[in-house]
Amino acid sequence: MVMSISSVNAANNSPKTIRQKTIEKGKHGFIIGAGIGAIEGFSRKSWLKGDKPNDTFVKTVSKEMEKTLKPEEKSEVTKVNKFFEALLDYKTEPEELRQRIEKSNELSNALIKHEGETTEKALDRIFAQDKPSLKKELRELQDRTIIDKKVNINAAKRLVNNNFNTKTKAFEKSNSTTKEAFSLIKKAITNTRMKTALKDTVVGGILVGIVGMLVAANELTKKNKQK
């Protein structure tokens, strides 16, 4: 037993190689760099591009707006979004587009119906047009859907712009905005800060870690040459 303890102590006290010392320095640098990166990333107003909120932040606000919808409203938003994705795809057949309209209350209600027309009759008339005329009319449906206007990019952009002070470059609740709506902006800010902090944590850690390893390797190499 005494022999084994001595062996362990000898192993622990044995001089470390350049590689081992360099790795230790690198790990230490990574931890410091990660901490610095996280703090700077969280502190920075990464939602600004120049003097205005950037497009990525507006999309984040739009996503927060979608979270406030009821389940049936979320379902309709999905149907509307999928419809316009299909509309932009040249491979989509007109029959598929018609079926998507029939399955969505939002899209069906957005149809312009002539006096006395049912949804089915209106669709018969609309889909009897040539393809260019049909696509033009179907594209206009989006502007007439009610649910889409609640959460689309334009709605998010209006909310952001109405509560952004261009002089202070900060968000301030306007009189026309409810507390609930303004809280969506604050949530989007927190989410953006967290993402930036996470990104800067990795970048800062890697950069400082590499610098630490290079400095350690250089110092150890000099010491070895002096021996």
pLDDT tens-place string over residues 134-181? 989 999 887 788 887 788 888 889 999 999 998 888 889 999 999 999
5 — pLDDT class (breaks 50, 70, 90): very low
Q: 22, 220 in Cβ contact below 8 A?
A: yes
Q: What span, in angstroms and rounded, lies between the C-alpha atoms of 30 and 27?
A: 5
Sign of CA dihedral 98, 133, 81, 176: negative
What is the residue extent of each domain of the chain? Answer: 19-51+166-227, 52-165
When pLDDT is averaged across residues 38-43 and rounded to a whole number, the result is: 41
123 — pLDDT class (breaks 50, 70, 90): very high
Its pTM surpasses 0.75? no
Q: State which H helix or E strand residue 52 sits in.
A: strand 52-53
When pLDDT is averaged across residues 99-123 and rounded to a whole number, the result is: 94
Q: Is the pLDDT of residue 36 over 50?
A: no
Residue 29: other Cβ atoms inside 10 A:
23
Q: Going by C-beta distance under 8 Å and a sequence separation of 6 or more, which residues neighbour residue 138?
A: 87, 97, 126
24 — pLDDT class (breaks 50, 70, 90): low
